[in-house]
Structure 1
Amino acid sequence: MTIRTEFPHPIVEHEDMGIVLPDGCRLSARVWMPEDAEARPVPAVLEYIPYRKRDGTLPRDEMMHPYMAGHGYACVRVDMRGNGDSEGLMTDEYTQQEMDDAVAVIDWLSQQAWCSGAVGMMGKSWGGFNCLQAAFNQPPALKAVISVCSTTDRFADDIHYKGGCLLGENFGWGAVMLSFSSRPPDPVLRPDWRRMWMERLESEPWLAPRWAALQERGAFWKHGSVGEDYARMQTPVLIWGGWADNYMNTVAHLVENVPAPCKGIVGPWVHQYPHTAVPGPQVGFLQEALRWWDRWLKGIPNGAEDDPAYRVWMMDSAPPDASAKARPGHWVAEAEWPSPRVSRQVLTLGASRGAGTSQGYLGLGETGNLQVTIATPQHLGLRAGEFFPMGLNAEMPGDQREDDALSVCFDADVLEAGLDLLGAAEVRLRLSSDRPLGFVVARLCDVAPEGASVRIAHGMLNLCHRGSMERPAPMVPGQTVEVAFRLDQMAYRLAPGHRLRLALSNSYWPFVWPSPAAGRLTLTGGSLTLPVHQGSGDEWTPPPAEHAAPWKHRVIRAGKTRRCIEEDLITGTVALVVEDDLGDAENLTHGLCSGETMSERWEIRPDDPLSARAVHVWEQRLSRGDWSVRTRAEAEMTGTADTLRMTAVLRAWEGEALVFERHWDDRVDRRHV
């Protein structure tokens, strides 16, 4: 990693540039631009998110935006309405108001004296979502976007539902936003900070039950899903993803479907920007971004439009490691996607052939008399990892052996020559259920000779959604149906001597919220279709990772993280416990001290899906001199056979005085989950 401190253009910074929207709401922007931009206008690059430029994303902002400004761009980091130092209130994610504000900001930027009139938009996660949404909305000044870790489908491929299954992180994300949005502006920038803070707290939404009530792919989820009409994507897109992140599917979807110039890059990374992300190798994301902006915002003929359509890090077999610092592999560059170098191989699920296999066999054209029951214990899935891992705190999938032992597994023969996979596998199953509500999870694993199991990809299907995501229908108990679903995209090379495993389950805690009853699926047939790549060597050499100087700060109190699995030997309850104390630090530039602490507990009994319970606690701290504030959000989720219950309490302190307290207690009907 190289830290750059000298750039072609000296820059100036504006810590609080006001952008007034058509309704009078003032957004706060932190802006870096070349010193002579007023005389020699430059393109603007917008990042527009709710995560607070003054403290939240400041460490990463200072490594990225000055770098790009030093190469001749005005980099504009905007706090969205109702967040950070911006006025107004935020009611939900990706609202029409949010999108309209983005279009207004882009238009405002294009008209500034220091802007050439061309605007680009970039972002990761929320910012990756809304820059795709901005491209979908086609503001005239928006000439290109760079999106990292985002989605094209808010129902099928986001943190709320997957394959129609209600994700545990739907609740977790609601708790996160309850905490994140509870913080006030910085009094140094907003003298009326307290009034703004109280308005935010009074209007704070508890979003988890709202999202959980929307159990089909309706208008709410289609709004903001750019896959609804790819033809509207007329703006050039550079899209990035990571195999350790759960937004890995977006890259292939966009490259395949967007009519505008679109290039995709997927590395081994977690939910971070690729120049700082683990597992390595890290790459020169900022140099690649600069190349994209130069081509589409400045019109420099650098050939970016002729780059390979799809560049991916094909990971090699390696021992399982939930905190992997690096993943061995090589870069594959596909000139087009779908690739003519990928063929489809169909393996049939067959009855066990005896020694060396699990409950079943995975092979060519062999079925046997398959009659297998899938009735897995509720605590299966404790090593699934986070929906979007952020770093090295055992957040990635670990050794799958324990989950495999609880699953119904189909093993292929030991590989003699290895196997390269690139794309999405598809599972087809013939099954019946003894319950109207239920789901099935498929994990594709790489099993080493000594038995270690690495998850290559996973996928799932809520059986109510077997025919339609828009119009789900309960299963008819005892009735056999054919279902099909895709696993996540992958790029993986299995080593000779390893074997491929398909593991099936109807529980996956806490990744998926359990069904209301411990059902039994009867499997009588099925197949696995693999995307087999013809093989390749190293086909791309990315630039090395570099960034601008990191933020100047002082650690007041170091953080620490704990992640463990607990078992109560009396009650039988099994729990995943996460405690993440980020400590406290002082910003040496403007003096604001900030800190954050969170804890999660996901508990369940193996024999009882209604024992599922999640408890999350988040604390936020801000101070400077004699001024200090603190907020604490506590949330809990449980369920009965008919309803899901989500409670929350939000408290806020000014100094030692409690100045706000609010409670929520919501119940959601279990129609399809």
Structure 2
Amino acid sequence: MTTRDGVTLRANVWRPAEGKAPTLLVRHPYDKDGTNGSATDAVPSVLSFVNAGYAVVMQDARGAFESDGDFTPKINEITDGEDLMVWLTEQDWYDGTVGAYGASYLGMTQWGLTLGDGPGLKAIAPTIASANWYSGLWYSQGGALSLSVVTWWNAMMYGNEEQRALEHGISTDDSALLQLRGAMLDPLALNEPTPVASHPVLGTGRWFDDWLTHPDFDEYWKTQDWSARIGEVTVPVLATGGWYDLKVHEQVADFVRIRTHGGTEEAREKSRLVIGPWDHINWSGSFPDRHFGILAAGDRAPSHIEFFDEHLKGTSPETPTPRVRIFVMGIDQWREETDWPLPDTAYTDYHLTSGGSANTRDGDGTLQLEAPTAEASDEFRYDPRDPLPTAGGALLPNLPGLVGPVDQRVVDSRPDVLCYTGPVLTESVEVTGFVELKVFVSASTVDTDITAKLVDVFPDGRAINLCDGILRLRYRNSLSEPELMTPGQVYEVTVPMSVTSNVFLPGHRIRLDVSGSNFPHYDRNSNTGGIISSEALEDMVVADTTVHHGGVRPSRLVLPVIDR
């Protein structure tokens, strides 16, 4: 097909041999010939949809693989999606109804379809995707650069561009391609160079520069924030994600937005949410340090087909589909819910306290329901030259020990980790929902980071991370308007810790880990208050951070407790 500005975009089409059919669209930059889905992937196989009576159109995005033009992330997706919808109306096999599905970037392009002019669009099914590209992907909810995914994804995409240039005769120099493909063999090494803005592999002159030039949530990002436009979405959304996926916080928030602000009653009432114990790549529910059982995996085709049958074919399911279906970790079971947040959520404060030595898992930090009257504090030192290594969480690339549930004993003996541990439980405690830390902090520098991690401590000593977050303290009041700190002054701040669902079983303990870095998940804070991406390691300074608690400074972990 040809776009309104004369660019040819190419697609693969699967369809029933005869007659008209409802159509499902997939638009992405990852090669239409190599991403057909399967029962074990994030998205169902193409053939499962064709066998259910659908046509499937899988299109390479502008500037990707076989499509012409230049690729720039997200910029052309709304208009190119509109042009694809126009092309569909010219096909004699198209019955006038269309849906869309796909994971990650493929989910983002679906949000683009809902914001464009597409009268035949009836439903979308974005998987592990969010509408906000700032706090939902490239930066954290607390303003830190999501370094490991930024370097890995850009090295992959720049490599694809270089390969395409060679194949199309645009270039004959393969040196950049060899460097980028070589870097992907050890993607963690991509995070070491400083200044990040002068990266020796990623170079300069493309969109990587733009992302680093705009560390604040400014107009550059606001124009790309489609979550602010969810009120324009008029079709139902089937959102599927994972508790250890890097986009889960914003994806669940998008579901809340469509439920409360969707542009039609159908969008508000018919949208669905499914969250399992998965990360961005691993959909088996099995990780080196945690296995969630055979129920964790499963083919997503039935739920997708049932959803599209209802909204594209008008076929109501025999049994009403639950609005929310979540995998509850701990008990390792699927459960159906009427809404999100769960209507019976009780946000409960777990107060931090200690004798002044909460450092390491063997320290004296505790969590308790009663607010301590005595004031106390704990200190740790964050050195950018020795940041706390990432051990699990919601990030990319998908490497063992880096992503997902990981035993925290690999890092919690370091003195720059404060551990606040609750008593051994005699009864189960369920935590399902958004988690946050409200904490009083001071630092020796004008800027630094606070990280917070929710941990399930097993009777055998394993300490498995559930969710976590980071706050760059210059963004304590606003992601758009940074404010440096006064060294030594105490501030009350909120650290967003994403979302989870877990039952802490009898014999287990609830733990909060606090530190000043999580590298390479997030970039090092230089602690100088300057433009971090432009600073070399030798320019960075050490920060001594104090966590205050008790008395008039009631630092507390806020957990969404479900008591049934």
Letter in 2 for 1:264: L
Contact 2:429 2:504 (C-alpha < 8 Å) held by counterparts:
yes
Contact 1:421 1:493 (C-alpha < 8 Å) held by counterparts:
yes
Change (3 A) 1:78 1:129: same
Alignment partner of 1:524 is 2:553? no
1:402 maps to: 410
Structure with higher RCO (Cα < 8 A, 6+ apart): 2
User: d(CA) in 2 for partners of 1:143 and 1:77?
Assistant: 18
Letter in 2 for 1:426: E
Contact 1:111 1:117 (C-alpha < 8 Å) held by counterparts:
no
Contact 1:447 1:454 (C-alpha < 8 Å) held by counterparts:
yes
Q: Which structure's CA Rg is the greater one?
A: 1
Alignment partner of 1:338 is 2:320? no
Q: Please state whether the residue corresponding to 2:436 is helix, strand or coil.
A: strand
TM superposition shift of 1:141: 1.9
2:136 maps to: 157
Contact 1:244 1:389 (C-alpha < 8 Å) held by counterparts:
no
Contact 2:16 2:53 (C-alpha < 8 Å) held by counterparts:
yes
TM superposition shift of 1:302: 2.4
Query: Deviations 1:294-330 (Å, cap 9, x if unpaired)?
Result: 11111112268x52222110111xxxxxxxxxxx600
Alignment partner of 1:315 is 2:325? no
Alignment partner of 1:180 is 2:194? no
Range with bigger deviation, 373-382 or 439-448: 373-382
User: d(CA) in 1 for partners of 2:67 and 2:82?
Assistant: 17
The Cα RMSD (Å) is 3.0
Query: Deviations 1:585-636 (Å, cap 9, x if unpaired)?
Result: xxxxxxxxxxxxxxxxxxxxxxxxxxxxxxxxxxxxxxxxxxxxxxxxxxxx
1:372 maps to: 378
Pick from 119, 136, 139: which aligns with 1:140? 119
Pick from 25, 29, 51: which aligns with 1:50? 29
Q: Which runs of 5+ in 2 are unaligned?
A: 178-202, 527-540, 550-554
1:500 maps to: 510
Letter in 1 for 2:97: A
Contact 1:376 1:506 (C-alpha < 8 Å) held by counterparts:
yes
Pick from 434, 438, 444: which aligns with 1:434? 444
| Paired positions, count | 494
Q: Please state whether the residue corresponding to 2:506 is helix, strand or coil.
A: coil
Alignment partner of 1:32 is 2:14? yes
User: d(CA) in 1 for partners of 2:82 and 2:495?
Assistant: 36
Query: Deviations 1:60-110 (Å, cap 9, x if unpaired)?
Result: 7997112211211110110011111111111x2111x22210111122213
Q: Which structure dedicates a bigger proportion of its chain to strand?
A: 1
1:141-290 alignment, distance < 5 Å: 141-169=120-148, 170-184=150-164, 193-195=168-170, 206-258=206-258, 259=262, 260=267, 261-272=270-281, 281-290=296-305
TM superposition shift of 1:491: 0.7
User: d(CA) in 2 for partners of 1:443 and 1:335?
Assistant: 28
Letter in 2 for 1:154: W
1:538-577 alignment, distance < 5 Å: none
User: d(CA) in 2 for partners of 1:61 and 1:34?
Assistant: 24
User: d(CA) in 2 for partners of 1:385 and 1:346?
Assistant: 23
Query: Deviations 1:186-239 (Å, cap 9, x if unpaired)?
Result: 98xxxxx335999xx999953323211111112222233232133112111000
Contact 1:84 1:185 (C-alpha < 8 Å) held by counterparts:
no
TM superposition shift of 1:369: 2.1
1:469 maps to: 479
Contact 1:421 1:531 (C-alpha < 8 Å) held by counterparts:
yes
Change (3 A) 1:77 1:185: farther
TM superposition shift of 1:20: 1.5
User: d(CA) in 2 for partners of 1:274 and 1:375?
Assistant: 37
Q: Please state whether the residue corresponding to 1:194 is helix, strand or coil.
A: coil
TM superposition shift of 1:251: 4.0
Q: Please state whether the residue corresponding to 1:478 is helix, strand or coil.
A: coil
Q: Which structure dedicates a bigger proportion of its chain to helix?
A: 2
User: d(CA) in 2 for partners of 1:46 and 1:134?
Assistant: 10
TM-score computed with the length of structure 2 as normaliser:
0.81
Alignment partner of 1:452 is 2:432? no
Q: Which runs of 5+ in 1 are unaligned?
A: 1-18, 188-192, 317-327, 536-673
Contact 1:240 1:264 (C-alpha < 8 Å) held by counterparts:
yes
TM superposition shift of 1:366: 3.1
User: What percentage of residue pairs aligned between the two structures are identical?
Assistant: 25
Change (3 A) 1:353 1:89: closer
Change (3 A) 1:226 1:509: same
TM superposition shift of 1:414: 0.9
